[in-house]
C-alpha cells in the first residue's frame, strides 16, 4: 500500500482540535508501517489558538478570561512554526503522507508545494495570492490568507494548512499571527466581498493539492482506514 501514489480524502466535518490531533498521531503510526496510504484530512475546528515549537507566551495577547469569554481553547503542539488561530469558516487540511516515497524534500518540495497548491486553489476561487520568500504561508499582498505548520516523523507528515474562507477575523486580534508583527490576515470572503460556496472551495483545494503532489484521489472514511473504532466522534456537519 505504501507504494500507491493515490490520496485518500477524508472529510471529518467539524472536529475538536484535540480529537483531530489524536487522530493524526494514530494515522501517522499506521502510515509509518504502510498500513494506510497517503491521506488528506479536511476539517473545521471550534475557536482554538495553537502554539508551535517556535511560539512564545507573549504572542498570546488575550488573557485567560478573554479567551474563555470568547470560547477559545489554547493548545501547545508539536508542529513547527509559531502561533495561529483555527475556527469556524477556516478550511483546515492535514496531509498524512510519506515524503520519502514521494521523493520530496521538506522545504521546497513539501512546504512550498502546499503553498503552490493553495495558490492554485485560490485562483480557482477568484483570488490572486502568492508566496513570500521570507515567510511560510500564502499571502495576498501583506496579508496572510493561509497558514502552514507541519511535523515530519520518520518521513511521515502531520499537521498542515489552514485556509481562511470566511472565518471571524477578529479572533486573530488575540495573537500575533505566526509571530509576525506588522502584517495582517485576510480571507476569501473579505477579498471577494461575497459568500464562498464551501463545497466548491473544498473541491478546488483537493484538486490543486493532488495536482501538485501527483496521483489519483478517492473519497474515503475513517471506518475504512482504522483497524478499530476511534473514540473520536466527528460532527456530521459537512464542509
97 catalytic? Reply is no
The catalytically annotated residue of 67, 74, 97, 178 is: 178
**Which H/E stretch holds residue 108?**
none
Q: Which of 187, 185, 182, 149 is CA-nearest to residue 165?
A: 187
| Main-chain dihedrals φ then ψ at residue 215, nearest 5 degrees | 105, 175
Q: Which residues are catalytic?
A: 178
Amino acid at each position: 500500500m505504501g507504494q500507491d501514489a493515490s490520496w485518500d480524502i477524508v472529510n471529518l466535518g467539524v472536529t475538536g482540535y484535540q480529537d483531530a490531533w489524536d487522530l493524526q498521531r494514530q494515522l501517522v503510526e499506521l502510515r509509518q508501517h504502510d498500513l494506510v496510504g497517503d491521506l488528506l484530512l479536511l476539517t473545521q475546528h471550534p475557536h482554538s489558538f495553537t502554539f508551535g515549537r517556535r511560539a512564545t507566551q507573549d504572542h498570546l495577547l488575550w488573557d485567560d478570561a478573554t479567551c474563555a469569554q470568547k470560547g477559545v481553547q489554547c493548545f501547545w503542539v508539536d508542529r513547527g512554526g509559531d502561533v495561529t488561530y483555527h475556527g469556524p469558516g477556516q478550511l483546515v487540511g492535514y496531509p498524512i503522507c510519506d515524503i520519502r516515497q514521494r521523493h520530496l524534500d521538506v522545504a521546497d518540495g513539501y512546504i512550498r508545494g502546499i503553498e503552490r497548491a493553495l495558490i492554485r486553489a485560490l485562483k480557482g476561487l477568484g483570488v490572486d495570492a502568492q508566496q513570500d520568500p521570507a515567510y511560510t504561508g500564502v499571502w495576498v499582498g501583506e496579508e496572510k490568507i493561509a497558514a502552514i505548520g507541519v511535523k515530519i516523523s520518520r518521513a511521515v507528515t502531520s499537521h498542515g494548512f489552514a485556509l481562511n474562507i470566511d472565518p471571524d477575523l477578529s479572533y486573530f486580534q488575540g495573537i500575533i499571527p505566526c509571530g509576525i508583527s506588522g502584517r495582517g490576515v485576510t480571507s476569501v470572503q473579505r477579498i471577494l466581498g461575497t459568500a464562498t460556496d464551501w463545497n466548491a472551495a473544498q473541491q478546488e483545494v483537493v484538486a490543486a493539492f493532488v495536482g501538485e503532489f501527483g496521483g489519483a484521489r478517492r473519497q474515503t472514511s475513517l471506518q475504512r482506514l482504522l483497524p478499530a473504532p476511534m473514540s473520536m466522534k466527528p460532527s456530521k456537519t459537512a464542509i
